[in-house]
Amino acid sequence: MADAYWDAEFDTMPWDELRTWQRGQFAAFLAGLAKSSPFYAQRLDGVPVDQAGSTAVWAAVPFTTKDDLRAGQQAASTDALLGDLQGVDNGDIVQVVASSGTTGVPVFFGLTDADHQSWLDSVANMFFTAGVRRDSVVALTTGMPLVAGGMPYADAVRRIGATLVWVGGQTTARMATIMQKLKVDTLIGTASFATFFAGRCEEVLGVPADQLSVHTVIAGGEPGMGQEAMRERVRSGWGADRISEVMGLCDVMPGMWAECAEGRGMHFTAGRNVFVELVDPTTGEPVPWEFDAHGEAVYTTFTRQATAVVRFRSRDHVRVVGTDCPCGRTSPLIRCVGRTDDMLIYKAMNVFPSAIRDVVVDGFAAEIAGPLRLRKAHADQVRFDEAIPLEIELPESHSPGSTGDLGDRIETAVLERLRVRVAVEFLRRGAIPVGEYKNALTYVGQ
Ligand SMILES: [Zn+2]
């Protein structure tokens, strides 16, 4: 069993017991933060921080949003490098990390030496849970050291003692050559990239990806890897026997969730440093961690010194898919359903684009090319009172005029499963730009 857990004590502590221990840290954490961070001094004014361990008091502690962090960083009542969010002297910061920031100004986060140690430990736990061991040879495909998936991931792989092969930032051809030469057995990348790379490997290397030695694919950074058809594409593309979905956030902790070998959902792997809550995204009310519960994940970094966050609204909508696991880890198992920002309203019902994608891919993967997307009248359209236009690419051998009843069957399946009407429109292969990988709906086929 020595090799079963990264942190046997915390990984197997009953979930309620872990929560109680975490709540026990809140009073001292908030009291310190109110003194050290001008942003939180103001934010916590009036909160009885000495009673923050009580669930009632905690539930009244204000949330922190990404916009708050951005504003807190821009406000500079001192000479702090990271604005009013910062809770330590500049000299105590040993590293700065940036949110990848697809929109707006990036937000920067600092690490003290102690923060760096806690990141190493928790992110290592994520990768260990996902299957990385001392004898693993791990290709890291992230290209940017400054983001959470860059240097922090690289550090954590080395913390486990695995062999880090940081191939990110190079051409696909070079990455493939290096992976072949060094007999890489574990690949870390986004789900889209893992699929794209598998599809390109034979073309650039002359050898299909399933003839390289990758047997574990660790994928994160976007929802989708919980979906069986997507997993199967990655598994067969690489000839892998293990797919591990992982999730973290640079604003909080770059690694917090990971799938164990059972592959039934992601465990929480950052309990020593981060408190996670589920809340109703509309009302902000706490939601209990029970089977099939869902809500927005909200995080508190109760050990963080340089740039702590309190009740941070992640916008990640997660569902509890299990509460016990044969591996012995005691945290709930979750899947990320999508971003609460992506949530649409169809006739007063909430629906995630990813849920529509999952129904289509589940039932029709063999009949469509891969990419699909919802068409909105304008970029921020959220409400739909008519059927939602759903564009789907066809395989090269098909033309939009010869699809028979496929459109009807897809529309019926979505209606039956989600009670949502979509209006399917078929497109020729290649019509949806590849650059839209991050689009919530896009399912990347071969
Ligand atoms: Zn497990």
So what's the pLDDT on residue 224? 72
**What's the pLDDT tens digit per position in 192-225?**
888 888 888 999 999 999 999 999 999 987 767 8
Distance CA 367, CA 32 (A): 58
The band of 269, judged by pLDDT with boundaries at 50, 70 and 90, is: very high
Measured in Å, residue 329 CA sits from the centre of ligand 1 at: 5
Q: What is the pLDDT of residues 129-155, one digit of tens each?
A: 999 999 999 999 988 888 888 999 999
Report the pLDDT value the prediction gives residue 252, as an integer from 0 to 100.
95
**CA–centroid distance, residue 256 to ligand 1 (Å):** 14
**Greatest CA span in the chain, whole angstroms?**
68
Q: Tell me, in angstroms, the distance from the centre of ligand 1 to residue 22's CA.
A: 21
270 CA distance to ligand 1 centroid (A)?
A: 14
Partners of 189 in the β-ladder: 219
The pocket of ion ligand 1, defined by CB under 5 A, consists of 260, 262, 325, 327, 329
Centre of ligand 1 from the C-alpha of residue 417, in Å: 28
Using the mean position of ligand 1's atoms as its centre, give its distance from the Cα of residue 148 in Å: 24
CA 269 to ligand 1 center in whole angstroms = 11
Tell me, in angstroms, the distance from the centre of ligand 1 to residue 321's CA: 12
Q: Give residue 129 CA to ligand 1 midpoint distance, Å.
A: 8
Sheet containing 253-259: which strands, arranged edge to edge? 163-166, 137-140, 186-190, 216-220, 242-249, 253-259, 266-268, 333-339, 312-322, 294-300, 275-279, 286-287
C-alpha 6 – ligand 1 centre gap (Å): 13
Task: Return d(Cα 49, Cα 31) in angstroms, integer.
Answer: 6
Q: According to the model, what pLDDT value does residue 341 have?
A: 72
How far away, in angstroms, is 245 Cα from ligand 1 center?
12
How far, in Å, from the CA of 284 to the mean position of ligand 1? 29
Q: How far is the CA of 436 from the centre of ligand 1 (A)?
A: 33
Measure 14 CA to ligand 1 centroid, in angstroms.
14
Q: In this prediction, what percent of the chain has a pLDDT beyond 90?
A: 65
pLDDT of residue 376: 84
C-alpha 144 to ligand 1 mean position (Å): 31
Separation of 259 CA from ligand 1 center, angstroms? 7
Predicted pLDDT of residue 102:
53
Is residue 80 predicted with pLDDT exceeding 70?
A: yes
Q: Specify whether the CB–CB gap between 148 and 254 falls below 8 A.
A: yes
Class of domain 13-272+302-308: alpha beta
Query: Which ranges in 12-65 belong to alpha helices (H)?
Result: 15-36, 38-43, 55-59
Q: Which pLDDT score is estimated for 446?
A: 35
Taking the centre of ligand 1 as the mean of its atom positions, its distance from the CA of residue 262, in whole angstroms, is 6
Residue 99 alpha carbon to ligand 1 centre in Å: 29
Residue 440 has pLDDT above 50, yes or no: no
Q: What is the pLDDT of residues 376-386, one digit of tens each?
A: 888 778 888 89
Q: Which positions ≥6 away from 426 have C-beta within 8 Å?
A: 391, 392, 393, 394, 398, 400, 403, 406, 407
Distance from the alpha carbon of residue 243 to the mean position of ligand 1, in angstroms: 13
Place 335 in a pLDDT band, splitting at 50, 70 and 90: very high
Say which range, 60-69, 202-211, 324-333, 390-399, has the weakest mean pLDDT: 390-399
User: How much is the pLDDT for 112?
Assistant: 98
268 CA → ligand 1 middle, Å: 10
Summarised one tens digit per residue, pLDDT across range 293-312 is 999 999 999 999 999 999 99
Task: Give the separation between CA 179 and CA 215, rounded to whole angstroms.
Answer: 12
Residue 103 has what pLDDT?
A: 57
Q: Summarize pLDDT for 231-260 with one digit per residue, the tens.
A: 888 999 999 999 999 999 989 999 999 999
pLDDT at position 367, please?
A: 87
CA of 13 to the centre of ligand 1 (A): 13
Cα–Cα dist 268/278, whole Å: 13
Average per-residue pLDDT for the chain:
90
The CA 166 to ligand 1 mean position distance, Å, reads 28
Instruction: Tell how far the Cα of 260 is from the centroid of ligand 1, in angstroms.
Output: 5
Q: What is the distance in A from the centroid of ligand 1 to the CA of 113?
A: 31
Between the alpha carbon of residue 299 and those of residues 49, 65, 129, 292, 304, the distances in Å are 17, 11, 20, 20, 12
Task: Give the architecture (CATH level 2) of 344-436.
Answer: 2-Layer Sandwich (3.30)
173-196 per-position pLDDT tens digit: 999 999 999 999 999 998 888 888
pLDDT at residue 347, as a whole number: 83
- Model confidence over 337-350: pLDDT tens digits? 887 777 788 887 77
Ordered by start, the domain boundaries in the chain are: 13-272+302-308, 344-436
Cα distance between residue 68 and residue 442, in whole Å: 30
